Amino acid sequence: MKKWFSAVACASTLLFSSVSLAETSAFNAEQLKQSISQKLGLNVSSARKSEMPGLAEVVTNQGLFYTSYDGKYFIQGKLFSLGAEVSNLTEESLAKVRVDGMVKYEKDMIVFPAKDEKHVVTIFTDITCGYCRKLHNQMDEYNDLGITVRYLAYPRAGVFQGPGQFTQGFEDLRSIWCNEDPNTAMTKAKAGSTVARRICDKPIEDNFNFGRQVGVSGTPAIILANGYMVPGYREPNDLKQLLESL
């Protein structure tokens, strides 16, 4: 028992010593972004001090990560604050990134508006997803409850299936977004109809990359107006209750 306490005390001393040293390291956002980019090949859009002393938060094209101020240590995971209430600091940061992204791609969304709009949700969708189809089949119910639904594209099979060769999922979603009537094209596709081929300049790949960046791993992925994400399908009344509870 004495040996165990001794080992714990030693480990604790090393941990606090590491944090203390990290706190004394100078934080330089631009240097850190450059260091992570060079070492890992990631495109770092932002770097800032996290709420944990000595730990920096970096937002990249592959998601949100944490590093030491000098960029010598790299952590993938979630950061929680254990105050009076437990807070998911990682989700709070990702929510801000999602809000900014929704503004960026707002003009390219396929929107099914509610006549008496009370809430707006943005959904990453794919036409091959069973629950995406179920959700879309209930679109009138969502709209009647005052919920406007906006779609972003997320081809579940990815963008490329080989060098320079798009996946069928990407091509189908691009065709829907490029259709002269994308809302009708979306409805027909989710009902099982063949997608009429269209090619134009729409940010389908950008939508997919944005989804990966903010933690989307499957569809449907529902993003609320405050940026928080609800993974999976939600029945219309269930979603309404969730939105009204915020």
**14 pLDDT exceeds 80?**
no
Does the structure show a pLDDT above 80 at 17? no
Mean per-residue pLDDT, 155-172: 94
Q: Are strands 119-125 and 147-153 parallel, antiparallel or unpaired?
A: parallel
Kind of pairing between the strands at 147-153 and 110-112: antiparallel
Task: Reply yes or no on whether 126 is catalytic.
Answer: yes
Is 156 an active-site residue?
Answer: yes
Contacts of 138 (CB under 8 A, 6+ apart): 235, 236
In the annotation, is 98 catalytic? no
pLDDT in tens, 192-210: 999 999 999 999 999 999 9
Q: State yes or no: pLDDT of 226 exceeds 60.
A: yes
129 part of the active site: yes
Decide if pLDDT at 37 tops 60.
Answer: yes
Among 98, 133, 150, 156, the active-site one is 156
Q: DSSP state, 193? A: P
Catalytic residue from among 98, 132, 133, 234 = 132
What count of residues does the chain have?
246
Quick one: pLDDT at residue 246?
A: 85
- What pLDDT shows up at residue 6? 39
Q: Are 195 and 127 in contact, with CB atoms under 8 Å apart?
A: yes
Q: What is the pLDDT of residue 113?
A: 98
pLDDT in tens, 38-61: 999 999 999 999 999 999 999 999
According to the model, what pLDDT value does residue 20 have? 46
Catalytic residue among 98, 126, 133, 174: 126
The pLDDT mean for the chain works out to: 90
Site of tokens 């330089």: 28
Q: How far apart are CA 3 and CA 175, in angstroms?
A: 67
Taking only the tens place, the pLDDT of each residue in 72-81 is: 999 999 999 9
Read off the pLDDT of each residue in 88-104 and give the average, rounded to a whole number.
96
